[in-house]
Chains A and B, each alone.
Chain A
Amino acid sequence: MIEQITILLVVIPLVFAPITALFKNNTAAWSITFLVCLVCFSISLYMMLDVIDGKHVIYELGGWRPPWGIEYKIDALNAFIALIVSGIASITCLYAKHSVAREIHNDTIPLFYAAFQLCLLGLLGIALTGDIFNLFVFLEISSLSTYALISMGKNRKALTAAFSYLVLGTIGATFFLIGVGFLYAASGSLNTADIAVRFDTFADLQLVETALIFMVLGIALKAAIFPLHSWLPNAYGYAPSAISVFLSATATKVSIYVLYRILFDLYPIQYWVEMLLPQILLSLGCVAVIYGSYRAWQQIEMKRLLAFSSVAQIGYMIIGLALINQNGLTASIMHLFNHAVIKSTLFMGAGILLYRANTTDLGSLRGLGAEMPWTFAAIVIAGLSLIGVPGTVGFITKWYLLQSAVESGQWIVVVTVVVGSVLAVLYVWKIVESLYFNTKRKLHIQHVESGDSKISTTPATMAIALWIGAGLCIFFGLNTELSFDAATTAALSLLNQQG
């Protein structure tokens, strides 16, 4: 029974996306999308609880036996990623209703929701599939819909942001495809498990090493790993608020998930350790943390600040991965989840500010925190999580990361985490200061018809979504059972793949 359910995660959005596009009624389009997200979320949760203790669920597409057919193999890691994606999608969708109505042209709203579902479909597909070519297909589905979604941003710069993301994203995807092609040429198979089992028979081929480099580079571009992050700040900064929320929490995370799969499942750990890949990734991760945090501190626009902070946070995940031990990997996987919660909350906060004040420029937002105490409080909670204050989700990750670094004697990581946290204090403080401490400035609200009272209140759905996010920041900081168990199981299975 559970085997059949897994494929529904991909099929449901695939069926409903075109249907949504046909609607003319915005509310109907939104309702369908929300329902799709909720159903996906329920399925993911059901799946997660089923596999959390380490068992696998395998579904063979069309009844074709792998390695000939496409296989969906669900373990704790897949299910966890699917849970993050669908959970964030649900929250985003709840949030999107009013935000999208404000930011996107009325006629394109159903198309927006259709693209949103396609994006969800692509990301879920990446998480579930056990076939690397199929993975590429889903990667393209999610990317193409993402380009469309970003370009719908209200600011005209959204177009150039989407275009540069399109160019870089296509290069990344092409690299990945070249890598897959090389690996296929060497191994004659596209099934992850199959390639891993027969790896020794073709390990000596130079092609295999080239394939790895191509795939890692391609994915690093999609995951915005420093120094391949240049598309990210603009893309997140100018996308519609709801899309910033969704992408910041899921898109790069899913790419990092692919990186786990390539490095731990597809290739033996020993193989890429000898290529010095861990050292390279570790250094890049450390630089990303410092550089991203520093650039975030310099920004004067809230969404771009948060985007640069994402570059830094991706650095933490890469560091955790590169330490290749139990705690490090657990920290890395947990940070996928924790950062998704934190960053989506912060972007939701920024979106509400945009909704109310029509700008996210920190200079123009001065003193708005006193006007909107609840939104401000939620932003502060998420900001504290980003810093890593105990009692919030951010602390848990940093704790495991530090432990892992100390275990393996990587003192440079300890220093990086500490410096990164201090810089995080600085850039979060920058938001808090301009929202609350700076003297109030009269807001210049544009493009609002006179007598429109909607501007003076935050829509309930947006506030609810924001506070769900803020609540999760605290809840999963204290009750780590779900995230920790899932991450540990996933980390263990990744490390023990080849014994």
Chain B
Amino acid sequence: MPFSMPNLLLASMIIPLIGALLISRLDKKPNLREAVTLLTAFVLFAVNILIYLQLDFSYADAGTNGHFTIAEPIQGLSVAFSASPFGSMFALIASGLWIATSIYAMGYMRAHHEKNQTRFYLLFAIAIAGVMAVAYSDNLFTLFLFYEILTVSTYPLVTHAGTRDARKGGRNYILILMGSSILFFLPAMIIVWIVANDLTFTQGGVLDGNLDAVWAAPLLIMFLFGISKAGLMPLHRWLPSAMVAPTPVSALLHAVAVVKAGVFSIVKVVVFIFGTDFITRTNANDWLIFIPLFTIVAASLIALQKDNLKERLAYSTVSQLSYIILGVLLANKMGVLGAGMHIAMHAFAKISLFFAAGAILVTTHKKNVSQLAGLGKQMPFTFAVFTIGTLSIIGLPIFGGVWSKWYLVSGAIDFTGPVITYWAVLSALAISSMLNIYYLLSIPVKAFFEPAPNDQAVGIKEAPVACLIGMAIPTLMTLYLFFDPSLFYKLAATLSKVY
């Protein structure tokens, strides 16, 4: 049967690689090369939809939906894949937004006269293959493997410009991501293996009954800092560093695919390795919650001071990622649900923001917030997109972001830990929403309402049409998701089914 689940899963990883192979042969024919990229993105999305349609929602954990093993280097430790609703959600978002990014990149890369565009598209496709493998990992070992491959394959994209700054950013990128994963993630994984003798993602976790309650919190800390793609402070520096990359990379990889692979891994570890019950019972989360809380507020405060638009967005991402970590660390039904949904909602909103930032860069070559005054009249579409993205991130109605915030706050209210933690969570959520309004909404306000400086170049127009189409897709999705979030609700809800 050609469309059986294992075949589809395999296809989801191989299709981007085939696309990459074709792209590498088409160096001399840019039109055809980009057509291939787009076609690959569409086929991949279709495959992910087929996987979604065949999902069996009664199982949230791995090993049930089309499980298959590629290799088993160590007895009981295999490189295996299977579809879970949560993984399917991540794959759908990443592959869906790859379409938008490909369209956007066509306009952006040409208008910006980037060099080595073939290498760019090639590595992009490989990175997407890595993301698919992370999404459909059946166990922690497989996830770790492709987590590392994702780091390595995105590294040349960060240093794409080849300048001194780019090298320096890339150095930060690889040192922090690889270093932390080898220092913390790998030993933590080995500890889990030694304690539980099982790394498969299992509903309710594998550690319950195997690990002494005292050690739950230290082990969890190792995972939280080991998976530094999730950008917890103080290991968040790589994300602003990675902003030297071309905008499509920042947009898809460093607002969606790579960082979400980080939080995705953390959610997987918390829900399917520890088990939320185990965490609640051992009180491992009582004080650990302060790590994401601190990150949420501190990153927002840093974002306030950043004048470089992309860096400001990067710090906003750091802050938003910690919402997800916060949600899952609350370890109750609503919190986990909110975390799952926030992966989706933040993805659509943040990619719109990055697309808008890139559009501004490509048409006006302006990188800083302070230079944007008055641009709103010349680029109304771009700033409309930016405004919608901002409002969704703040969590205001008629935009999708409201739902994930809703569940996150519900989760915070349901939290049963120490009172001081309880109030800290609620106040941090409130403060950071205020800060969001301040540091993000001030940008479109400035563009629309402040008068342009006198030396403003006349005749600035909107970005190339391809960019505009690419921007429109995620923006429309944020609107749509307000009215019908059922798809992501359904996929994320399986995470907290255990209660």
Question: When the two chains form their complex, are residues B182 and A421 in contact, meaning their CB atoms are under 8 A apart?
Answer: yes
| Residues of chain A with a CB closer than 8 A to B144's CB | 390
Decide if B71 touches A479 in the complex (CB within 8 Å): yes
In the assembled complex, the CB of B153 is this many whole angstroms from the nearest CB of chain A, namely 12
What DSSP secondary structure best describes chain A's contact surface?
helix
Interface of chain B residues 180 through 220 with chain A (CB within 8 A): 182-183, 186-187, 190, 194
Q: Which A363-401 residues have a C-beta within 8 angstroms of B?
A: 387, 389-391, 395-396, 399-400
Residues in chain A near residue B79, CB distance under 8 A: 478
Whether A205 is near chain B, meaning CB under 8 Å from some CB there, is no
Contact of A422 among B141, B148, B183, B194 (CB under 8 A): B183
B67 close to A (CB within 8 Å)? no
Interface status of B417 (Cβ within 8 A of chain A): no
CB distance B73 to A477 under 8 Å? yes
Proximity string of chain A (22-51) to chain B, C-beta cutoff 8 Å, 1 when within and 0 when not: 000000000000000000000000000000
Give the number of chain B interface residues (Cβ < 8 Å): 21
Interface membership of B419, Cβ < 8 A: no
For residue A403, which residues in chain B have a CB less than 8 angstroms away from its CB? 194
Q: Is the CB of B179 within 8 A of A390?
A: no
Q: Is the CB of B73 within 8 A of A479?
A: yes
Of all chain A residues, the one with the shortest Cβ separation from B189 is A390
Q: Is there contact, CB below 8 Å, between B190 and A399?
A: yes
Instruction: Give the chain B neighbours of A400 by CB distance below 8 A.
Output: 74
What is the minimal beta-carbon distance from A369 to any residue of chain B, in angstroms? 11
Least CB separation from A480: chain B residue? B73
* In the bound complex, CA of A402 to CA of B195 (Å): 13
- A382 CB to closest chain B CB (Å) equals 14
Determine if B167 and A396 form an interchain contact, defined as CB atoms under 8 angstroms apart: no
Contact across chains for B182 and A387 when beta carbons are under 8 A apart: yes
Is residue A185 within 8 Å, beta carbon to beta carbon, of the partner chain? no
> Given that A402-B190, A406-B194, A437-B167 are known contacts, is A389 also in contact with B182, CB under 8 Å in the complex?
yes
Closest Cβ of chain A: how far from B80's Cβ, in Å? 12
Say whether B446 faces chain A, with CB atoms less than 8 Å apart. Answer: no
- Report the contact-size class of chain A (Cβ under 8 Å from the partner): 20 to 34
Q: For residue B182, which residues in chain A have a CB less than 8 angstroms away from its CB?
A: 387, 389, 421-422, 425
Q: Name the residue on A nearest B156 (C-beta).
A: A373
A478 and B73 within 8 A (CB)? yes
Which residues of A (427-484) have their CB < 8 Å from a CB of B? 429, 437, 439, 477-480, 484
Does B367 interact with chain A (Cβ within 8 Å)? no
- Is A418 at the interface (CB under 8 A from chain B)? yes
A389 to B149, CA, bound (A): 11
Asked whether, in the complex, the Cβ of B179 is within 8 Å of the Cβ of A391, the reply is no
User: B171 interface residue, CB < 8 Å from A?
Assistant: yes
Residues of chain B within 8 A (CB-CB) of A422 are 182-183
Q: With CB as the reference atom, state the residue of chain B lying closest to A370.
A: B162
> Of A389, A399, A479, which one neighbours B148 at CB under 8 angstroms?
A389
> Are A390 and B141 neighbours in the complex by a CB distance under 8 Å?
yes
Q: Which residues of B contact A425 (CB under 8 A)?
A: 179, 182
Contact with A along B115-143 (1 / 0, CB 8 A): 00000000000000000000000000100
Q: Do B71 and A478 have beta carbons less than 8 Å apart?
A: yes
* Complex interface: chain A residues within 8 A of B149 (CB): 391
Q: Are B74 and A396 in contact (CB under 8 A)?
A: yes
Is there an interface contact between A396 and B194, defined as CB atoms closer than 8 Å?
no
What is the predominant secondary structure among interface residues of chain B facing chain A?
A: helix
| Cβ–Cβ < 8 Å partners of B171 in chain A | 437
* Chain B nearest CB, measured from A29 CB (Å): 39
CA distance A400 to B193 in the complex (A): 12
Cα separation A480 to B73 with both chains bound (whole Å): 5
Would you call A418 and B187 a contact (CB within 8 A)?
A: yes
**CB of A248, distance to nearest CB on chain B (Å):** 24
The smallest beta-carbon distance between B140 and chain A, in angstroms, is 10
Q: Which of B33-55 contact A (CB under 8 A)?
A: none
B145 at the binding interface (Cβ < 8 Å): yes
Residue on B nearest A424 in the bound complex, by CB: B182
Among A390, A425, A484: residue with most chain B CB under 10 A: A390
Interchain CA distance A266-B149 in the complex, whole Å: 46
Known interface pairs A399-B74, A437-B167; A390-B183 also in contact (CB < 8 Å): no
Residue of B nearest to A422 (CB): B183
Residues on B with C-beta less than 8 A from A437 are 167, 171
Q: How far is the CA of A258 from the CA of B73 in the complex (A)?
A: 28
Contact of B194 with A390 in the complex, beta carbons under 8 Å: no
B71 touches A390 (CB 8 A): no
CA distance A16 to B70 in the complex (A): 43
Query: CB-CB < 8 A to A389: which residues of B?
Result: 148, 182
| Residue in A closest to B162 when the chains form the complex, CB atoms | A370
Instruction: Contact check, A390 vs B186: say whether CB atoms are below 8 A apart.
Output: yes
Contact between chains at A391 and B194 (CB < 8 Å): no
Chain A residues with CB under 8 A of B194: 402-403, 406
Interface hits, B69-92 → A, CB 8 Å:
70-71, 73-74, 79
Question: Which residues from B are CB-within-8-Å of A391?
Answer: 145, 148-149
Could you say which residues of chain B place their CB within 8 Å of the CB of A484? Answer: 74
A370 to B183, CA, bound (A): 28
Closest CB-CB distance, A480 to chain B, in whole Å?
A: 5
A421 to B175, CA, bound (A): 15
Which of A391, A406, A439 has the most chain B CB atoms closer than 10 A to its own CB? A391
Determine the distance from Cα of A399 to Cα of B79 in the docked complex, in whole angstroms. 15
B219 nearest CB across to chain A (Å) = 15
Q: Which residues of A contact B179 (CB under 8 A)?
A: 425
- A-B contacts, 19 listed (Cβ < 8 Å): A389-B182, A390-B186, A391-B149, A396-B74, A399-B74, A400-B74, A402-B190, A402-B194, A406-B194, A421-B182, A422-B183, A425-B179, A425-B182, A429-B175, A439-B164, A478-B70, A478-B73, A478-B79, A479-B71
Q: Which residue numbers of A lie inside 8 Å of B, CB to CB? A: 387, 389-391, 395-396, 399-400, 402-403, 406, 418, 421-422, 425, 429, 437, 439, 477-480, 484
Minimum-distance CB pairs A-B, first 10? A478-B71, A480-B73, A391-B145, A390-B145, A479-B71, A437-B171, A478-B73, A406-B194, A390-B144, A396-B73
